[in-house]
Structure formats: structure tokens, C-alpha cells
Structure 1
Amino acid sequence: MSLTRRSLLRRTAALGGAAAAASLFSPALVRAQTPVRMVLNWRYQGPQSWFFLAQDRGYFADAGIEMIIDQGNGSGAAVGAVASGSYDVGFGDVNALIQLAAQKPDEAPICVYQMYNKPPFTVGVMADSGIETAKDLEGKKLGGSANDGALKLWPAFVKIAGLDDSGIEITNFQPNLREQMLKGGQVDGVFGYVNTIRFSAKLSGMDPDTDIRFINYGDYGMDLYSNGLIVPKAMTQEQPELVSGMVEAINRGVADTLADMDAAVDSVAEREPLINKAIEKERLIATLQDEMNHPELAEYGLGAVDPERFAKAIDIVVEANGLPRTPEVSEIYTDAFLPPMSERITKLL
């Protein structure tokens, strides 16, 4: 086990005396900090707040980690960034990880803390477009960022929803153009996570509750997990204490976020002062409700998965995409670095 600040304090109390307390802060006992570069799934927003709280409150430092957190360019891209070695850690989509592991198992990283346990993938359309079901997407023009998780799962959705995609046109554009492209009619539908589209549309002056309709993948049988903490397999083998410490730090960051959401959003604003804090708080709450609050949370705790459900999710992705092999759950996810059940979060709201 790594020597955390808490264990040092316990040790100090056992030794007793001012000299022991002073020695706690002596240079000899200051932990060396290992630089770790993390890429997020997206730009700095409310649902990234637990990472920043963990950083600001010294939880990563407690684990001997100097964490550097960069904005991302899509949940699928985060997986590729870790696999390529560009980043040490990513907050990415496990479905992209499943696809990589099925095709290039030696390159695939592994998820050590599963956070989004409900499928957020969707195609957003204008409510007055006449598109009401997945079947209505046939013959339409759809668009999104090339690294968007929902777009990467589109072939699987086409198969499961029974669509004829021969007349569907897919176009790529920068993520910040998504809501503008939809509102302006340049595309009939856009790929994304429900709450990403919903609150970005709200920031652009739209009322997502009346202006946008969501064709959700989960409504068509794609019961998938999505974003989790992704690390190289080599890190789990060579630096297990670092991985455990990082997971513990993030778990504490989530607990702090739940205890004080205003402080959580403030931590995001420290990195991105131009955010609308009221909307980012709404986005945070919606993410907790819609993407992280599966009933299994009460049984397994945040960070863990239901092994049977996870195996079925792997089967869905493999079969629908015609992948060459079906990875084992253990190739995609491990619970070896989770905190004990007594410290896991089993209720969000």
C-alpha cells in the first residue's frame, strides 16, 4: 500500500510529540511526485469537476501524483490517446476500448474505475423536424465530431435498430459547431451524449426541452456502459500503487462533489473562467442522474461493474460491429484498484 498522508498522520500520532509532528514535514518524508498526464473526454465542464477537486484538495498529491489534466476531443479519442502513449490516463468510452481490444489486443489499455454506467449515446434532432423514431433517420444527413462516442457506435446502432443506412449521409465537423449545424439546418441530426447536446444547446440560446428530440441508443436495446478511467495495462503491472492512489483520489473527488456542488463547479471555473456556472451545475446534476445512476450502483458502488451486464455489453458491441473476436471482461475492466466497498459511493442524489 502507498504511504498516504493519512497513514503518515496515524504514524505521527502513534509516535507522539512535537518532534514527530515536525518530522512529518521534513524534506526526507516529502513524497516524490510522479507526473501523470490525463486527457478528458471533452472541454472543461461541470461533469469533470471531481478531477479538479481531487487536484485542488491535494488528493493526487497524497498519492504521490503530479496530475496534469488536459481538455479532450471526444470520449473515443481519449482511449486512442492512452493506447498511443500520448497520455498516461484518459477519461474515455469503454465501448471504444472494446473495439480496440477486439482488433488490437496488445495495444488496448484497461478501465480501472467505471463512472458512467448508463448509455448516454444519442442522435439529437430538431423537435419540429418530423423525426420521431430511429427509422425516421433513414435518408437523412447526420453529423458529428469524428471522435464522438455516439458516432463511433453508429454502425452498431444501425444494426440493432434495423435501419437501412444506404441513404444516410454522415458528415464530420468540429465539436463546437454541433448545435449551430443542427439549429441552422445544415444537418438533420447530430451525434453526441444527451447532456452534452442538451446543455450546449441551452448555452446557444435554445430550449432543449422543447426544441430538441433525442433518439437514444439505450431505447433500442443498447444497454451499454460508457466513460471510465482508462490506463495502460503496463501501468497496472509496473505502478499498481500509483493506480490505486489515483482511483482513491478521484473517488474522494466525487464524494466532495456530491457534498458541495457549488464548490465543484467553482473548481471548473478556475480552469475555464468563461463557463456559465449555473448551467454547468445543471449539467453536472443531469450527468449524475442520467449517466451515472444505474440501480446497480447500490450493489457494486461507483467504479465497479455488474460482470454479467458488462459481458453482455461487450457482446452487443462485438456482434453489431462485426469485430474479429470477443474480448473477456478482464481485458477491458479490472476492479483490482478500487477502494474497499465501505469507501465506495453507492448513492449519488
Structure 2
Amino acid sequence: MALCSSAALAEVEMPFALDWKFEGPAAPYFLSIENGHFEAEGLSVTVLEGAGSLDAIPKVATGAFPVGFADMASLMKFIDQNPGAPVTAVMMVYDKPAFSIVGRKSHGIEKPTDLEGKILGAPPPDGAWAQFPVFAAENNIDVSKVTVEPVGFPTREPMLAEGKVDAISGFSFTSSLNTMRLGVPEDDITVLLMANHGLALYGNAVIVNTDFAEENPDAVKGFVRAIAAGWKDAIADPATAAQILANHNPAVDTDFETRRLKMSIDDNVLTDYVRENGMGGIDADRMDRSIEQMKMVYEFVNEPNRELYFDDSFLPEEPLKIN
């Protein structure tokens, strides 16, 4: 018993700050807990909800959380505006970002240029909205012909469902399914995934406080392995993953969250690149292209460099195969 107590005391506490609520794509992290992947790495992990793409970054940079989940574009801006901030990405999860425009076919939205002459609902802090100028430039959208309606996160999908806007910005698997739940038929919904329309940016990644990582490198490496193991479990059995998620958020509709999880796997996580190279890493040339695209919508104060934003030293030498 003494040995067990010592082992428990030796576990490294690593609270994990998510970017959003406990929906389907959060299920793999609970699988990492329930299936013992964190425990096997000597880690004690709790998962906490977030409130948008920007939410986790300052939490991790200030040291309030050792690890978090945030999109790369927001991280790049934060580091540029806060030089030397002790935060970086260490594991790519959404190889393709979920940034999307979700519209109604009955309102004439089927391709990017259909947004001209229409009303787009966009929450100002939304990560997808932040990338809209790149999406517009890559698809020759005349932004002067798009009426932008600032909306809140809670009112975004209801306004689309009620026909008050023709399209909204948001994560593909969040906004499309939330709109369906409000009664809009699936065949009336168009999802324009920005990554399929010219966007080179990466999506959400595991981020770490670099001071914590310097003091606990093995813990961060173990965290990365455990995250990959959770995703592998979720890919093998999305329905069970959604059931486990429901233990932490009883309000969820498990059928919808299973579907949401599958969307994130198919569109964002298990890409051709990940199938070939494993989960977690980035392609240097693509990252450089993404920086060039960022320059279209953001004026860097300091010279951007991919090494400022992503540190692959915590990834294992062997690829993290999850398919």
C-alpha cells in the first residue's frame, strides 16, 4: 500500500484547458482518462471547458494551466503581440482546421462566391471569422458585397436557423450540427471547409507552458502519447467515446455527438498527411505558407518564424499512428 501511495503522490498534475465545450471532439481526452492512458504516463489530468479559440492561450501562457488546446492562428498572433511569452504548440491535432462557413442552400449558399449579396453572421472572437479575409481572397469574394452581422456564440446558429442570416462562420462540426438540431434539414445546409478552399493554415494544437515543459519534459512527452492514444480509441469506436463524454456532460445528445466526433475525425484529424506521417507533426513548407497567408490578415510586429510557434521535440521518434 505504501508503494501505491507513493506512486499516486508522484503523479504530475496536468489540468488541460480546452478551447470549447464538452462536445464530440472532446471525447478522446476523456478516453485518455477513462482508458488509463494518462495514468500509464504518470499523469493526473483534468479537462476543463473553454470559451473560444483565444481562451486557452493566456491560461497556458500565464502558467494557470500547463497545457491547453488552441488554434495555431490565434497562437501566432498572441506570441507576436507578447514576445517571449512562455507558450508554444507541441502537437498538431486538427491537421485541417475546422474553420468553415456554414450556410443555407435555400438562401442560395452553395459555393464561396454565393456569399456576395448575402448576410454573414460572425462572432467577433471567432477563429473562423478571423480567417475570412484569407478565405475571401483565395476564392475571389468581393467582401464589399457581403453584409457582416456581428453575432454572439449563443445566437449564431439560432439566427441561421431562423433565417435572420444566410450563413455563419464557425467550426464545421459545431455550427452545422447545431443548426440541424434547431430543425434545419441536413440537405439545406452547406459546409464550406476553408481548408478545402485554399486555406493553408493549421487548426488546433496542444499547447504547453514552456517553463513547465522545461521542468517536466517527460510529462509533456507522456501527455502527447496519451492524447494520441485517446484519439486512436475514439477512431476505433466513436459511439463508445460519445457515451463516455456523456458521463461528463449529461446534457449531450450522444447520437449527435457521435456524429460530431466522426466529422472531426474525417475532416480534421485523420487526413492523408496524418495517415502517412502519424499524428502530431507539421509540414515545414505548409507552415511557411500558412505564415504567408497570415500576413494577408495580420501585420506581424516581429519577424514570424515557425520555430516560434511549434516545437516538435516532445513528439516521439516513431510516428504516432492512429489509423
Matched, 1:130 2:108: yes
Cα distance change of structure 1 residues 189 and 326 upon mapping to structure 2, 3 Å threshold: farther
Q: Report how far residue 23 of structure 1 moved.
A: 7.2
Cα distance change of structure 1 residues 264 and 214 upon mapping to structure 2, 3 Å threshold: closer
C-alpha contact 1:315 1:326 (8 A) present in aligned 2: no
Structure 2 counterpart of 1:248? 225
Cα distance change of structure 1 residues 68 and 108 upon mapping to structure 2, 3 Å threshold: same
1:158 corresponds, among 123, 128, 136, to 136
Matched, 1:182 2:160: yes
C-alpha contact 2:117 2:146 (8 A) present in aligned 1: yes
Correspondence list, 1:1-349, <5 A: 24-25=3-4, 27-107=5-85, 109-166=87-144, 168-208=146-186, 210-341=187-318, 344-347=320-323
Consecutive unaligned residues of structure 2, counting only runs of 5 or more, are none
C-alpha contact 1:300 1:346 (8 A) present in aligned 2: no
C-alpha contact 1:159 1:320 (8 A) present in aligned 2: no
Normalising to structure 1: TM-score of the pair?
A: 0.84
C-alpha contact 1:39 1:87 (8 A) present in aligned 2: yes
C-alpha contact 1:31 1:64 (8 A) present in aligned 2: no
Q: Distance in 2 between matches of 1:188 and 1:256?
A: 37
Q: Distance in 2 between matches of 1:144 and 1:85?
A: 31
Q: Distance in 1 between matches of 2:295 and 2:116?
A: 23
SS at match of 2:21: coil
Q: Report how far residue 84 of structure 1 moved.
A: 4.3
C-alpha contact 1:157 1:320 (8 A) present in aligned 2: no
C-alpha contact 1:101 1:327 (8 A) present in aligned 2: no
Q: Report how far residue 301 of structure 1 moved.
A: 0.6
Identity of aligned residues (%): 29
Spell out, residue by residue over 1:53-96, the C-alpha distance to the aligned partner (whole angstroms, 9 max, x if none): 11123332333333221112122333343234443322111111
C-alpha contact 1:53 1:253 (8 A) present in aligned 2: yes
Cα distance change of structure 1 residues 164 and 326 upon mapping to structure 2, 3 Å threshold: farther
The AA in structure 2 aligned to 1:131 is: I
RMSD: 2.4
The AA in structure 1 aligned to 2:148 is: I
Which structure has the larger Rg?
Answer: 1
Q: Distance in 2 between matches of 1:54 and 1:139?
A: 46
Deviates more, 1:56-65 or 1:292-301: 56-65
C-alpha contact 1:195 1:287 (8 A) present in aligned 2: yes
Q: Report how far residue 114 of structure 1 moved.
A: 0.5
Q: Distance in 1 between matches of 2:289 and 2:118?
A: 31
Cα distance change of structure 1 residues 159 and 325 upon mapping to structure 2, 3 Å threshold: farther
C-alpha contact 1:46 1:281 (8 A) present in aligned 2: yes
C-alpha contact 1:126 1:211 (8 A) present in aligned 2: yes
